[in-house]
């Protein structure tokens, strides 16, 4: 038989579980105490904290349960009490029930060499075991999302396990990200990445929440920014004073003619070029997919190489390339007003800002691949374009260039 007063639980009138704080500092850590007669009296600090002014010492719970955040904390403590009770019942006559036992329940010891069950820890495990199969950009996403989760845990004063990722976790994570002014699509991609981590853990035998498969996100449709054929001609004809801008301009034109990611085209060397009859081809392996590619080089690319005595432009960092091609497009007066998003830095924080901007402001290294795909769609068979861009399916390719199935049907109707 149970009775309860606030969050102070009485188990069979013998074992009791109650919560309390023992500091006046803000935030104050919340402690849990389990007692059973004279033999068992265990106390340990939980993962939760609260402002002492908001805590009821009499009831052992937050004072204002009408407040959403305090109601959430209250429910978490109730859930923790239930789990502790089950652990207590399972441990009777099996394990010594003492303070260390309670600490191990709150913060399970991770055995050396074992698979992590904590969400943050699993990011490192995932990175280690995927090191040889994922590219540098994915490793970067791992670090970015891990740091985001660390800030989220610090804000919520809770350490999450793989099994805690459920619909409630999604809601609280979204709320936190919105308060931090993250863009909607950035939040959605972060949640998708967390799900990927959890699926990997599940495949390694780690317990996941039954709601994991039901966590869904929807990316907002955004305009696909690309350079039109007319705009590329303007860029090509623009005279530039500085050599570093001429170098970046040639890379931009090459990227729009070959349709490759910056991680691939920035590595191009003249030694990779071979001729099939009179057709110049460049052969290489894509960094992201590992796929061996053989792409014909257009007359525009060969003109650039001829000007450079057969050499490709100088290699530069992704950061510098992104900076320089904006300048190139600005000088070429690529200034049509378009909707999109760009990075905006306030202090040490950088976020995506949605709005309407001059087109040159939205130009990044990715624009070459999308310009190639968009400008050649309908001119070159889609199956051949997919082979060049490296998309797995036609559906993915159409989404990439912003074409819907309906638009494709309308274009097809022109041939009837």
Q: How confident is the model at residue 229 (pLDDT cuts 50, 70, 90)?
A: very high
Taking the C-alpha atoms of residue 416 and residue 399, their distance in angstroms, rounded to an integer, is 24
Whole-model pTM over 0.85: no
DSSP state of 234: H
Residues 299, 280 contacting (CB under 8 angstroms): no
Residue 10 reports pLDDT greater than 90: no
Question: Domain spanning 229-376 has what CATH number?
Answer: 1.10.443.10
Residue 415 reports pLDDT greater than 50: yes
Classified as helix, coil or strand, 293 is strand
Q: Is 198 exposed, middle or buried (0-12, 13-18, 19+ CB in 10 A)?
A: buried
pLDDT in tens, 390-402: 777 777 777 777 7
DSSP state of 285: E
Residues 3, 10 contacting (CB under 8 angstroms): yes
Domain residue extents for the chain: 2-106, 119-214, 229-376
Q: What is the pLDDT of residue 1?
A: 34
For the CA atoms of 229, 235, 236, 239, what is the dihedral angle to 10 degrees?
160
């Amino acid at each position: 038989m149970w009775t309860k007063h606030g969050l102070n639980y009485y188990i069979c009138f013998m074992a009791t579980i109650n919560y309390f704080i023992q500091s006046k500092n803000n935030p104050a850590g919340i402690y849990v105490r389990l007692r059973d007669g004279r033999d068992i009296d265990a106390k340990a600090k939980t993962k939760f904290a609260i402002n002492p002014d908001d805590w009821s010492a009499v009831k052992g719970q937050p004072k204002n349960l009408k407040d959403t955040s305090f109601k959430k904390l209250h429910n978490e403590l109730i859930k923790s009490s239930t789990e502790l009770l089950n652990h207590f019942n399972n441990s009777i006559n099996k394990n010594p029930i003492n303070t260390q036992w309670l600490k191990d329940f709150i913060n399970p010891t991770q055995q050396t060499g074992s698979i992590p069950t904590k969400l943050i820890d699993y990011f490192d495990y995932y990175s280690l075991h995927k090191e040889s199969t994922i590219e540098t950009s994915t490793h970067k996403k791992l670090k970015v999302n891990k740091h985001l989760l660390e800030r989220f845990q610090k804000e919520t004063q809770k350490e999450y396990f793989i099994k805690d990722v459920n619909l409630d976790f999604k809601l609280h994570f979204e709320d936190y990200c919105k308060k931090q002014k993250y863009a909607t699509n950035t939040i959605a991609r972060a949640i998708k990445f967390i799900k990927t981590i959890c699926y990997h853990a599940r495949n390694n035998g780690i317990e996941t929440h039954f709601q994991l498969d039901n966590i869904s996100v929807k990316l907002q449709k955004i305009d696909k920014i690309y350079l039109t054929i007319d705009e590329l001609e303007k860029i090509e004809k623009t005279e530039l004073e500085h050599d570093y801008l001429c170098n970046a301009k040639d890379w931009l034109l090459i990227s729009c003619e070959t349709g490759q990611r910056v991680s691939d085209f920035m590595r191009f060397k003249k030694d990779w070029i071979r001729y099939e009859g009179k057709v110049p081809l460049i052969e290489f392996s894509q960094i992201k997919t590992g796929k061996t590619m053989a792409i014909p080089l257009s007359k525009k690319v060969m003109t650039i190489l001829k000007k450079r005595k057969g050499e490709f432009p100088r290699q530069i960092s992704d950061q510098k390339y992104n900076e320089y091609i904006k300048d190139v497009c600005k000088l070429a007066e690529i200034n049509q007003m378009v909707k999109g998003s760009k990075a905006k830095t306030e202090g040490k924080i950088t976020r995506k800002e949605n709005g309407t901007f001059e087109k040159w402001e939205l130009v990044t290294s990715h624009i070459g691949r999308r310009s190639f795909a968009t400008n050649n769609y309908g001119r070159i068979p889609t199956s051949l374009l997919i082979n060049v861009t490296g998309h797995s399916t036609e559906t993915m390719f159409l989404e990439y260039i912003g074409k819907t199935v309906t638009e494709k049907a309308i274009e097809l109707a022109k041939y009837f």
